[in-house]
Chains A and B, each alone.
Chain A
Amino acid sequence: KNEVEQSPQNLTAQEGEFITINCSYSVGISALHWLQQHPGGGIVSLFMLSSGKKKHGRLIATINIQEKHSSLHITASHPRDSAVYICAVLTSGTYKYIFGTGTRLKVLA
């Protein structure tokens, strides 16, 4: 079992739909990242959080440290949101990153 699990692996949505991507982890962490990898390969950091909730535009990220779970929500999805979304945890103490396998999102117009 991977130390960082994401679900779903693939997701197809219609434009305007509310999207949730989940990340569960089994290790102690100092922080959690959500990253977006565009079809061309470029990677953008969306959020880094260690507690609570963060919001940026149509994106919301939450984390529950006790349950070892984080979610990334996209409201009013748009075809330009089509990308791979990656969860990464920064392990506590050793300061290493462990990545989830990613969620491939396709938003149809």
Chain B
Amino acid sequence: GAGVSQSPSNKVTEKGKDVELRCDPISGHTALYWYRQRLGQGLEFLIYFQGNSAPDKSGLPSDRFSAERTGESVSTLTIQRTQQEDSAVYLCASSRGIYNEQFFGPGTRLTVL
């Protein structure tokens, strides 16, 4: 079966524009995670969704960031009024549950000019 997919794979945008990143998890995976990795730095946890429960948004870096997930399917991460500091690879992962192995997508490389 297909793994976790993310789109676009690369996104170049101008400062101040909004961007939307998409994640398609593995079918049947109830848990979905968003992470960020700035160039040369470690992974940062942004948010996770578990089933239909409301996500804890406190890990999002600022109120310009928002994430949604419809049921147990696709998730979108939206960054409004992008800043140069938002440039990073945004990774999505999914798992059967929070105590199960995570499968990572290939990431979206975001460059804000």
Question: Which A residues have a C-beta under 8 Å from some C-beta of B?
Answer: 30-31, 33, 41-45, 48, 50, 86, 88, 90, 94-102
Question: Which B residues have a C-beta under 8 Å from some C-beta of A?
Answer: 33, 35, 42-45, 48, 50, 56, 58-59, 89, 91, 93, 98-104, 106-107
Say how far A61's CB is from chain B's closest CB, in angstroms. Answer: 12
Q: Is the interface of A mostly helix, strand, loop or mixed?
A: strand
Q: Is there contact, CB below 8 Å, between B89 and A99?
A: no
Q: A90-B98, A98-B45, A99-B44 are in contact. Are A43 and B33 (CB under 8 A)?
A: no
- How far is A41 from B106 in the complex, measured between Cα atoms in Å? 8
Contact among A42, A45, A90, A100 for B106, CB-based, below 8 A: A42
Q: Is there contact, CB below 8 Å, between B45 and A96?
A: yes
Which A residues touch B93, using CB under 8 A? 43
Say how far B16's CB is from chain A's closest CB, in angstroms. Answer: 27
17 residue pairs of the A-B complex, CB under 8 angstroms, read A30-B98, A33-B102, A41-B106, A42-B106, A43-B93, A48-B99, A48-B102, A50-B99, A86-B43, A88-B43, A96-B45, A96-B48, A96-B58, A97-B45, A97-B48, A99-B43, A99-B45
